[in-house]
Amino acid sequence: MTDARAFFTDVVAMAPMAQGGNLPYRRLCREFGAELTCSEMVVADKLVKGGERPLMRHHPSEETFGIQLCGKRPETLAEGARMAVAQGARFVDLNFGCPIDLITRRGSGAALLKKPRKLAQLVATVREAIDVPLSVKIRSGWTEQRINAVDVAREAEAAGADAVVVHGRTRAQRYKKSADWSVIADVAEAVTIPVLGNGDIMTPWDLERRRRETRVRSFLIARGCLIKPWVFRELLTGEPWRPTVAERWAVMQRYFEFAREYFGDDEKGLGRCHRFVIWHLHFWHRWRDYTRADFDAHLPDSLIQRREDPREIDDAEERLLMSPDEADHEVIFERLVGGDHPGVGVGLERMISA
């Protein structure tokens, strides 16, 4: 049986993300060093009725792949967890952070933060059902008036969770405000299981700061890896990577190839590749060549919270890659399909096989 403590200790993990955590993108992040990968959120009620199956697939390179489940019925979650393990999940994560109305109105996701006892009962039932590592993902609380991550984490630990992921925002907060790492730090003081800190990590300097200021030793990365999948290599080595325009094209090309391999080369498959590439470009175009000085100047907030003013950029290729414009994203997609860009033939070995 896996040593659950070791499994969740000192890791930099890719966060569960609807859409963003699609299989080809996880494969890319894994190449860049993501130590754990996780499925998009799987709704347990749908799963046990035969739905959600494609979300449970993983690529062979994802040796430490987990499946995230969302639900509020103990037996359904337990059955879903057994199915996840049968599908090859090396760990199961329970989602107690989803803020979406559709989910919380039914009493699932972040709504369970309001009912720590019920949440603990769910953890205990799933714990009984499976013998792979079990994590729970929570937020700091439901609202700023109801910050209770420490209590929830303690309940989850007592009920048998092996790790707790804390996203330092309440359900009510969107991404406007920075994540509150003091709550994450408090949880790390309060429980003995590994805590994965989550919120606003995008540069090696963010990671260094959180390591220095808290006891947190494991981290979960979401938007940071949507903006730059190579963030994992940067976080693991402590060194920023400043890719050239050609290297950035090569990264996009690699994703496109993985997507084409997964979705297929026919019209339907290419349609899905298009949908996902365009989706990812909403994040990719936000990449900037930030320096340590930029990081320092932006404290106490992380650079991920920065909203860029459009810059004057001379280089046309550079301008295209930074463009938020959908028409430009379509141009990029067409060039990927046609292999008509400066990334053709550019090797990424230096970054992906370190």
Ligand X SMILES: Cc1cc2nc3c(=O)[nH]c(=O)nc-3n(C[C@H](O)[C@H](O)[C@H](O)COP(=O)(O)O)c2cc1C
Q: Which stretch binds ligand X (CB under 6 A): 90-98, 230-238, 261-269, 313-321?
A: 90-98
CB 97 within 8 A of CB 110: yes
Binding mask 103-142 for ligand X (x = CB under 6 A): ----------------------------------x-----
**Among residues 4, 12, 13, 17, which is the contact residue for ligand X, using CB under 6 A?**
17
Closest distance to ligand X from the beta carbon of 42 (Å): 9
Backbone angles phi, psi at 172, to 5 degrees: -70, -25
Q: Which is nearer to ligand X, 129 or 202 (CB)?
A: 202
- Within the chain, strands assigned E span 12-14, 37-38, 42-43, 65-70, 91-96, 134-141, 163-170, 195-198, 218-221
Q: How far is the CB of 149 from ligand X (least distance, A)?
A: 13
Three-state DSSP state, 263 = helix
**Per-residue tokens: 204:** 């090696």
Applying CB under 6 A, among 14, 15, 113, 346 the residue interacting with ligand X is 15
Annotated catalytic residue 98: yes
Q: Number of residues in contact with ligand X, rule: CB under 6 A?
A: 23
Count of beta carbons in the 10 Å neighbourhood of residue 100 = 14
Which among 150-158, 199-207, 241-249, 251-259 is the span making contact with ligand X, rule CB under 6 A?
199-207
Looking at beta carbons, which pairs linking 80-87 to residues 24 or more positions away fall under 8 Å?
A: 80/42, 80/44, 80/47, 80/48, 81/126, 81/129, 81/130, 81/134, 82/129, 82/130, 83/47, 83/48, 83/56, 84/42, 84/56, 84/130, 85/130, 85/132, 87/56, 87/57
Nearest distance, CB of residue 153 and ligand X, angstroms? 15
Question: Which of these segments, 16-24, 112-120, 143-151, 241-249, binds ligand X (CB under 6 A)?
Answer: 16-24
Q: How far is CA 245 from CA 169, 289, 335, in A?
A: 34, 11, 14
Site mask, ligand X, residues 226-265, x = CB under 6 A? ----------------------------------------
Q: Which of 198, 203, 214, 218 binds ligand X (CB under 6 A)?
A: 198
Q: Which is nearer to ligand X, 68 or 218 (CB)?
A: 68
> What x-and-dash track marks residues 206-225 binding ligand X by CB under 6 A?
---------------xxxx-
Q: Which of 3, 5, 10, 19 binds ligand X (CB under 6 A)?
A: 19
> What one-letter code names the amino acid at 123?
V
Give the nearest distance from C-beta 92 to ligand X in angstroms: 13
DSSP secondary structure string for all residues of 3-61: -HHHHHSS-EEEPP-TTTT-HHHHHHHHHTT-SBEEPPPEEHHHHHTT--GGGG---TT
What's the CA angle centered on 304, arms 298 and 307, to 5 degrees? 75
Least separation in angstroms between CB 277 and ligand X: 15
For residue 345, the minimal CB distance to ligand X (Å) is 32
**Complex with ligand X: residue 38 or 83, whichever CB lies closer:** 38
* Amino acid residing at 23: L
Say which of 70, 98, 225, 273 is annotated catalytic: 98
Residues 149-188 that bind ligand X (CB under 6 A): 167, 179
Give the residue among 18, 17, 20, 29 at the shortest CA–CA distance from 64. Answer: 29
Whose tokens are 């049986």? That residue is: 1
Determine if 102 is a binding residue for ligand X (CB under 6 A).
no
Report the SS3 class of residue 294: helix
* Residues labelled catalytic: 98
Q: Which residues bind ligand X (CB under 6 A)?
A: 15-20, 40-41, 68, 95, 97-98, 137, 167, 179, 198-201, 221-224
